Structure 1
């Protein structure tokens, strides 16, 4: 950049600044953000101007500066695990960091703790990773944020035990269809045999017991009589139970918050 161009850039910088106000910066006016807690200035517009004004030994850059806040260090935690870096705010909101080295010294000096182990009281890290992947599939723009409270609720839903039919439980190995047909074919045989065994009470009782066992074997899998975690259900019924359990848990949480708020007011 020759001298004439440099002077033109400087002149435009001052002209655009003169046309701007504290609430509105016109085009080509430098815009900087001052993060007071960190003592850091970030350039939104006019980044290259910094180097030029330094070369020209100018004492300041005309710019619209907006003050920005920053969370206190006790609200933040950073976890470095297996080459991944997770930033957590208020023990709830998680972001995946890709350039932590740029701010490591600054954040450490600010008082943000760096840890190498994922806390046991948080939802499982694999579930957090899956949540990031799901968000990326839905929206590939911006920085995804995972809500640990929401994940904790989903974990609680999955681990809640509900009463269902045996046929609703996933990963149950059922007898082969051929075996079931053979057993089902015994029912009319037993019924016919009972007609000839009316005079023999002991034999009639045995045949009745066997026939009842067959009917129970075929009906029991469809009766809501077993306890099972929501996460272990077949997909066709899992979503229904997830919705019902989530609604109940959310209602319990709201009641707890209201009760806590009333107790605090007293």
Structure 2
């Protein structure tokens, strides 16, 4: 039986790399994001486009999320893995200069979107036969150690860690498990500016080492293929020479 995965934020970056890696591993995949042209490009890069289905929508929209999961069941009949990947960050500015609207937008995408997708996945995991499934949350090294002037992003990633632990605990009796993958300096549109110079705690702007995002996609596919009796609670993958351990 072919396994089925949903990847949110699949139009670029980590989501695209993960979809490609899952496709190489033989998965059927539902790609979800706002940008339909970019979603179709991701689909074209997958090994078997017949096993890839595209759904356009926004993780912050309750109706869009419900449609995503219903479409997945209609198209493939079950769900085995949800990769909660969709997320945004903001430019580094002091918290006293940050508009409430910007803070709320990051919370809506990074945390509320995670909740909405997790809720719908759990419904399916509990009701399907065989019961169970795996959720992989895109955390960040910022779930543990912040960058300067990153309060909203850091707060949401700390919250995602709490969601990960709660999901794992509450799903235990239903063969549902949850992993948080914490990524540092993968070469994507979101993080790529760090290679040109990132603000450090001492006030300097220093270029940082990056890693190929392909390695992240392969890590997601590895975790997805583990049996449900095996849990990886947190999985850190980062560029070896980036500042994290001992940051600041």
TM-score (norm: length of structure 1):
0.17
TM-score (norm: length of structure 2):
0.18
Greater relative contact order, per chain length (Cα 8 Å cut-off, separation 6+) = 2
Structure with higher helix content: 1
Task: Please tell me whether Structure 1 or Structure 2 has the larger radius of gyration of its CA atoms.
Answer: 1
